[in-house]
Structure 1
């Protein structure tokens, strides 16, 4: 039996000693908990010349930093699987869970719109891309043989890769005769390359090019750790416009929608996984994605409202629960990881805001017009925590979808002090979107076989719950909610209804007006700190 690494044991001793010291001096017990790669832990380990301690060499928050974490986590996972090899191996599942070859870690990046991103390997030889994960669209595309793409050097000083079919020995063109080709009417012949155009609703934002097929690399999430080479169809994005030339998915967008063009659909159609996947949104900004994950027996669920002409992850909301108030509602909402801040239309927006306001103590904060949130409140002079109200959406079958991190925190810059907090929702004219900030603290299961959304409280490692928010946390921390912006820039990542990727009409209902523009989707770009005047 292999001996355990001494670093976790030493960290545990540190935590226990801190807890004992706190217990001896105060009735209210507590102690600081540090991330394993935080500077305090690093200084402590280096001062003791701890053998085997490992830290990413790249600056914290950079793409290289997260890539190193992903590689380290994957190596650690392989090591643990090897240690378990002496035990009797379970019978292999007919459709195992898959993760990207670089691991199932995802990262919430503040400089790229506070969305979750993942590293993936594509082509032969394999090339790495950092793609935004979007349950609100279908097509996976990357910059390719670029005629107009985003700069290759990102805000991290990290150089993005560009795909080229001619440089991959496994690349194949997708002909116009393919069932994946929606723009056959524009083709010059059945064997010519199939073009694609996806237009988005904001600032003339679009991507266009040709469809190609190539190998996307995964690893099985079991003791075998087998590499799976999955041929997938994706967009060779030769032209990007609008927001894709700046900070919205500059290295590609990974559509996770229900249509046959999405990668989850392709994986299940080839029998590589079950037709389901899960995403976990950690409060520390590090998440997980697993393809083929069908959830757990204890999760809560609600059915999807599926329009077969344009299927989306659309659920029914029948009420709101905010603190001790319950309000009835009857609306649809999209569950969209590609929207950073939740968008609500009236009457849901006002109902939630008023229920929140009626139970909050403190004066309204309205002095900064750059803050996009309406329901903001100042902290008292001696207030050290923000107590959260229990909040959530009551879904069609009566289950409560909990909102665990509903607030954005507003700070002064000099000195940096928390002065206010806001209910982090933005008013929409005609669509309700449960955005990424209302997914934090949950593992969401998109079960496309049973057509249900499942969820449970989770922090991507083990179950968790919390009732208060710290006011003196790390300024670079991406959670519990986004820090307030100094500008509010909506960016769309939904298709317009005038092209082959367009949504059809929403499910027939007297309340369908909430979904009459399915293409409205916003990505809110944030600065970590706002100067409050």
Structure 2
């Protein structure tokens, strides 16, 4: 299910703002805990990566950059993008910023393992696996900041985490579509993404994800999860997308929300709440309230995704009955509509 507080649609690029987005497949309440999430242009991400020259939120440059980024990602998903990433010059200064440096829209600083290590991971509702660069032969280990400093990124290693255990090849989590790394006696994986030649390959391991509770004072929960030890990254993962890991939030049993629910730690729900200052919160567990509006997902068994049916569009108080399906995607900035829905909106605002 999905619970939405409000949405705003306007202009020819349709910006949609959700105060709270929840995937709830169970109404039973368990614990709720999570971590902060950060917009790609937020101060937290800028400070973490030591970058400047990024557009200020609300400026013309900001919206131009967001729209341009969506076009790049939409092209990549259609496998029609150019191999050369264009530069965008912001009108407010002489700095240029290569848009490929941060491919996804929202990020989180997560802590994994014992002793704990932090990673800046991209949040993606369009994929399932949570993976980190790990003992890698092909991955991004450092970035050159705009100030000229070299920023070393943390690399996960099962051998240095006392709570890490490989997933054996005969585990039910391994599944028929995964292989076996015989030398390591571990379940092997390869995830191929829609972006051209983009993949991650490695083994599956169990470890702990450190989450904060909703209590005051806040408590820390060491949640057991399964993650990908990404030894080989290709394509956009070496340049644009998820350079320090990807946090898949899909519906498959390998995703973190599904794992937390299967272990009885939370209801099979998660929420993403976005604040106006670029800082939000992702919560695992049921945060819904009685009597709130509910929209069911259209779940396809072969490729389940957060797909809903829209039955009406309201522009300026005028309601039009037009039915279409839409996918909620945490990685896209704006809402994009095809006809006939697009024409209904244009006619309503012209």
TM normalised by structure 1 equals 0.46
| Correspondence 1:246 to 2:239 | yes
CA distance in 1 between counterparts of 2:104 and 2:155 reads: 23
Does the Cα contact within 8 Å between 1:177 and 1:191 map onto a contact in 2? no
Inter-CA distance 173–236: structure 2 relative to 1 (3 Å threshold): same
| Correspondence 1:95 to 2:85 | no
* Partner in structure 2 of residue 326 of structure 1: 319
CA distance in 2 between counterparts of 1:209 and 1:188 reads: 9
Report SS of the residue matched to 1:277: strand
Point out 4+ residue stretches in structure 1 off by more than 6 angstroms: none
Q: Which residue of 80, 93, 107 maps to 1:117?
A: 107
Deviation at 1:120, TM superposition (A): 1.0
Does the Cα contact within 8 Å between 1:274 and 1:294 map onto a contact in 2? no
Q: How does 1:376-525 map to 2 (within 5 A)?
A: none
CA distance in 2 between counterparts of 1:160 and 1:191 reads: 25
| Correspondence 1:177 to 2:177 | no
Q: How does 1:30-49 map to 2 (within 5 A)?
A: none
Q: How does 1:123-202 map to 2 (within 5 A)?
A: 123-153=113-143, 155=145, 158-183=151-176, 186-187=179-180, 192-202=185-195
Deviation at 1:233, TM superposition (A): 0.6
Report SS of the residue matched to 1:266: helix
Report SS of the residue matched to 1:337: coil
CA distance in 2 between counterparts of 1:141 and 1:154 reads: 23
- Which is strand-richer, 1 or 2? 2
Question: Is the deviation greater in 240-249 or in 304-313?
Answer: 304-313
Does the Cα contact within 8 Å between 1:117 and 1:131 map onto a contact in 2? yes
Does the Cα contact within 8 Å between 1:113 and 1:340 map onto a contact in 2? no
CA distance in 2 between counterparts of 1:200 and 1:216 reads: 24
Structure with more contact order per residue of length (Cα contacts < 8 Å, sep ≥ 6): 2
Q: Deviations over 1:372-418 (max 9, x none)?
A: xxxxxxxxxxxxxxxxxxxxxxxxxxxxxxxxxxxxxxxxxxxxxxx
Does the Cα contact within 8 Å between 1:177 and 1:190 map onto a contact in 2? no
CA distance in 2 between counterparts of 1:159 and 1:299 reads: 45
CA distance in 1 between counterparts of 2:288 and 2:145 reads: 36
* Partner in structure 1 of residue 293 of structure 2: 300
CA distance in 1 between counterparts of 2:183 and 2:117 reads: 30
* Partner in structure 1 of residue 37 of structure 2: 106
Q: Which residue of 254, 273, 280 maps to 1:287?
A: 280
Does the Cα contact within 8 Å between 2:178 and 2:189 map onto a contact in 1? no
Inter-CA distance 114–282: structure 2 relative to 1 (3 Å threshold): farther
Does the Cα contact within 8 Å between 2:141 and 2:154 map onto a contact in 1? no
Deviation at 1:165, TM superposition (A): 1.0
Report SS of the residue matched to 2:259: helix
Q: Deviations over 1:148-178 (max 9, x none)?
A: 1124226576432110111111111112211
Deviation at 1:277, TM superposition (A): 1.4
CA distance in 2 between counterparts of 1:184 and 1:113 reads: 28
| Correspondence 1:262 to 2:255 | yes
